[in-house]
Amino acid sequence: MSSHFVAGTLITRDQINTRIAELAEEIERDHPGGGQILLVGVLKGGFMFMADLIRFMTNRVAVDFIAVSSYGKGTKSSGEVRMLKDLDTSIEGRDVIIVEDIVDTGLTLTYLQEILKARNPRRITTACLLSKPSRRQVDVKVDYVGFEIDDHFVVGYGLDFDERYRNLPHIAVLGQG
Ligand code: IMP
């Protein structure tokens, strides 16, 4: 059986902070008029990104959360997405932003965008802290991307491996030995 370890910092806490401030500014520029934005955080990985993003926003924002299954205990996607927790509120006629930790194959996000679009929001966009373009299996639109990264399995800043490492304040590469 192989073991895993945190190999090194890929993105520092400062880099994350600076980039999230820029994303918040971009989002607010794209949503003028002071109307309320509903941020939909995707659990569990997106919770830290969500918490930092809203602190840079000055618009009226509301938050809700949705949970979908991801990789379970491994580092490879099963390609199967399941809803574990739905939103508490209706999104009909609202300006919605999906807030996700990472887009890898794109299957999770495609599923989320499809089910939420079917509920007739006024507008729906997506913000992802990380994107691994080389791993994409479906062409999914991400409006706001924090960082594009190479094909590494990463942990920290909300992202886990088998429920570990979510508490790291930075993004680290998971090594295998
Ligand atoms: P996708 O459906 O393949 O795009 O995978 C998206 C989900 O898989 C994310 O929301 C994460 O929960 C998880 N995931 C993908 N890549 C990583 C990674 O490098 N580290 C931790 N979780 C990941």
Torsion angle (degrees, nearest 10) of CA 95, 83, 169, 156: -130
Across all residues in the chain, what is the average pLDDT? 92
Q: How far apart are CA 75 and CA 78, in angstroms?
A: 9
pLDDT at 77 (0 to 100): 58
Ligand 1 proximity of 101 Cβ (cutoff 6 Å): yes
Ligand 1 proximity of 70 Cβ (cutoff 6 Å): yes
pLDDT at 2 (0 to 100): 66
Tens-place pLDDT, residues 3-48: 889 989 999 999 999 999 999 999 999 998 777 999 999 999 999 9
Residue whose pair of structure tokens reads 């190999």 in the numeric block: 7
Query: What is the number of the ligand 1 atom nearest to the C-alpha of 137?
Result: 3
Q: How far apart are CA 135 and CA 126, in angstroms?
A: 18
Question: What end-to-end distance do the CA atoms of the chain give, in Å?
Answer: 9
Q: Could you tell me the distance, in angstroms and rounded to a whole number, from the CA of residue 71 to the centre of ligand 1? A: 7
Six token digits for residue 32: 């003028």
pLDDT at 69 (0 to 100): 84
Tens-place pLDDT, residues 60-84: 899 999 999 865 555 555 567 889 9
Tens-place pLDDT, residues 90-132: 999 999 999 999 999 999 999 999 999 999 999 999 999 999 9
Ligand 1 proximity of 130 Cβ (cutoff 6 Å): no
DSSP state of 73: T
Six token digits for residue 159: 């992202």
pLDDT at 74 (0 to 100): 55
* Nearest Cα to Cα of residue 137 among 80, 69, 67: 80
pLDDT at 1 (0 to 100): 53
Ligand 1, atom 19: closest residue by C-alpha = 153
